[in-house]
Structure 1
Amino acid sequence: MSKKLKEDIPQEAFDWYDEYAHGGMNRRTFMAKLSTLVAVGYSMTVLTSALLPNYALAEQVSFNDDEIKATYETFDSPNGYGKGVGYLVTPTQKTGVLPVVLVIHENRGLNPYVKDVARRLAKAGYLAFAPDALFSLGGYPGNDDEGRAMQKALDGSKIQQDFIAAAKFVKTHQRSNGKLGAVGFCFGGYMVNYLAAIEPELIVAGVPFYGTPAKKELRKNIKAPLLIQLGELDERVNSSWPEYENDLKSAGVPYQMHMYKNAKHGFHNDSTSRYDKENAELAWDRTLAFFAENLT
């Protein structure tokens, strides 16, 4: 039997990974399902290299780039885990106050891909701050499996309070112009929706990438314009969109939704084969244009 290529991997394998990554199945079950594809001609190496992240691929802006400066900053979170830490990236070519963007990671802590997103924003002229929800447990552990387990073990309500505290910290930073936007991916997309709903004046623009909405009773509070980025093949998240759209319309929230053709959940993450370069670049261009319109 000839070995099948990465490009031929069926959509169901990506669905299994999505279910595994979001707690719907354990690793043993996930690997067992992948084994059924080995039986029909795929190698396990091809499957795991396609589905699991390789963060060496994700660096678009080097941390040594002389147009940015990156530091780790600590903030107080009295209603969360007491203290938080985040990756603060500042453009070195600009003086004075800056528009600010909070960058929110997936459900596995502050991994290299999300740090790179913060650097991309700083290169574009923003003060970018990416908190790590895993700080209370020692921070992102260096691999997504362990990071996912660590985040799952934390109290979700305290994590939410940590991100509220992070938003207030960077919004009032000495380099901030007072206008805060937020962009997040997966869990981070949910957090953008949550921040827009829980304190209506906290952010003035939100870009949730494939994130589910805040609880229904909170949605009426949203005032900030939203740019909602969805992948066409992401059935789990997309199933929440019709009701969310109705609630945004009822609340009079200005929003745009873009559904990216043939894009999977995680299509912006360039460390895995879910990455869709054309759609990711289009979504990012739209993100930068949206922030320029609302934050500057």
Structure 2
Amino acid sequence: MSATTLPIPTDAGDLPGLLWLPEDRDEPVPGLVVLQEIFGLSEYVQQRCADLAALGCAVLAPQLFARLDPPVAGIEDGDDVEAWLAEGMELTSRLPWERAEADAIAALGALRAHGAVDQERVGLLGFCYGGGLAVAAAASAEEEDRPPSALISYYGSALPTLLERAARVEVPSLHHFGTADAFIPSQTVEEIREAVTAGGTREQVRFELHEGAGHAFDNPHPALHHAAASEAAWRLTAGFLAETLFPRS
């Protein structure tokens, strides 16, 4: 399944985005804004966008690193893992968080405005850097009375610094973390769980721990991938979307 380009109007000019649409659609479909890892819109993230479109969602991925000078779409896997990770971290450090958050919210608006999309059923999904960004964008969107219909965060790397804002997100949410995450210690993961579930009182928020999985376990790079966790998380993600974004028959 191939993507088309979709300009995303923002207060700083149009931002390029990639759009995937389900092949068979007779009526408006649910939408998902997908927010990238530190590596940009890599082949992996684009494949996940196509996977989500195959489930029946219109998927919009804003090219956040297009703001950089020079613009960057995505960086490919590297054999030198430390250098690869360092390059990704350097790219995110050059993009102001507030700018990325505003662009994520603008992408929600652009997807809602698309004629193929049911504007009442548009969610956010993010991986790693994008997982934290999705939570922050959801919090801001709720404050503006335009919350997403659902939120999925894969090991949101910025969540330790976003606990207060994450605690204000009340939309149906699914959070994935690995128990062997070297980037986010287990104690911090439990602090995140406490914040996003409001101490376990929010039934609409699910928090899944994947045994033995490290950070970025869904990424297929051999240094990161955990096959069992990736498969389990994807099943849970597909089921969650079926419950939250797709109409019940």
Match for residue 148 of structure 2? 203
Q: Which runs of 5+ in 1 are unaligned?
A: 1-67
Separation in structure 2 between the aligned mates of residue 205 and residue 242 of structure 1, nearest angstrom:
22
Does the CA-based 8 Å contact 2:167-2:197 persist in structure 1? no
CA drift of 1:89 comes to: 0.4
Q: For 1:85, what is the secondary structure of its paired residue?
A: strand
C-alpha spacing 1:147/1:244, structure 2 compared with 1 (3 Å): closer
Does the CA-based 8 Å contact 1:109-1:140 persist in structure 2? yes
Match for residue 171 of structure 2? 224
Separation in structure 2 between the aligned mates of residue 110 and residue 69 of structure 1, nearest angstrom:
14
Match for residue 108 of structure 2? 167
CA drift of 1:187 comes to: 0.5
Match for residue 266 of structure 1? 216
Q: For 2:214, what is the secondary structure of its paired residue?
A: coil
Separation in structure 1 between the aligned mates of residue 226 and residue 167 of structure 2, nearest angstrom:
33
Q: Does 1:294 align with 2:244?
A: yes
Does the CA-based 8 Å contact 1:109-1:151 persist in structure 2? no
Query: Identity over the aligned pairs, expressed in percent?
Result: 25
Does the CA-based 8 Å contact 1:83-1:136 persist in structure 2? no
Separation in structure 1 between the aligned mates of residue 18 and residue 37 of structure 2, nearest angstrom:
15
Does the CA-based 8 Å contact 2:164-2:195 persist in structure 1? no
CA drift of 1:266 comes to: 1.0
CA drift of 1:139 comes to: 2.8
Q: Does 1:125 align with 2:56?
A: yes
The amino acid of 1:89's aligned partner reads: W
Alignment of structure 1 residues 42-53 onto 2, 5 Å = none
Alignment of structure 1 residues 209-248 onto 2, 5 Å = 209-211=154-156, 212-213=158-159, 215-237=162-184, 238-248=186-196
* Equivalent residue in structure 1 for 2:98, among 149, 157, 168: 157
* Equivalent residue in structure 2 for 1:109, among 25, 33, 40: 40
Match for residue 81 of structure 2? none
* Equivalent residue in structure 2 for 1:189, among 121, 127, 131: 131
CA drift of 1:153 comes to: 1.2
Larger Rg: 1
Q: For 2:196, what is the secondary structure of its paired residue?
A: helix
Q: For 2:21, what is the secondary structure of its paired residue?
A: strand
Match for residue 61 of structure 1? none
* Equivalent residue in structure 2 for 1:100, among 26, 31, 56: 31
TM-score, length-scaled by structure 2: 0.83
Q: For 1:221, what is the secondary structure of its paired residue?
A: coil
C-alpha distance after superposition, 1:24-74 (max 9, x if no partner): xxxxxxxxxxxxxxxxxxxxxxxxxxxxxxxxxxxxxxxxxxxx4410111
* Equivalent residue in structure 2 for 1:83, among 14, 19, 22: 14
Separation in structure 2 between the aligned mates of residue 223 and residue 84 of structure 1, nearest angstrom:
28
CA drift of 1:110 comes to: 1.2
Alignment of structure 1 residues 23-102 onto 2, 5 Å = 68-78=1-11, 81-102=12-33
CA drift of 1:220 comes to: 4.2
Separation in structure 2 between the aligned mates of residue 187 and residue 249 of structure 1, nearest angstrom:
21
C-alpha distance after superposition, 1:136-165 (max 9, x if no partner): 232325446455433321222111111111
C-alpha spacing 1:272/1:86, structure 2 compared with 1 (3 Å): farther
Separation in structure 2 between the aligned mates of residue 189 and residue 163 of structure 1, nearest angstrom:
11
**Aligned residues: CA RMSD:** 2.0
Aligned length: 227
C-alpha spacing 1:154/1:227, structure 2 compared with 1 (3 Å): same
The amino acid of 2:132's aligned partner reads: Y
TM-score, length-scaled by structure 1: 0.71
Q: For 2:101, what is the secondary structure of its paired residue?
A: helix
Does the CA-based 8 Å contact 1:197-1:219 persist in structure 2? yes
| Structure ranking higher in helix proportion | 1
Does the CA-based 8 Å contact 1:182-1:206 persist in structure 2? yes
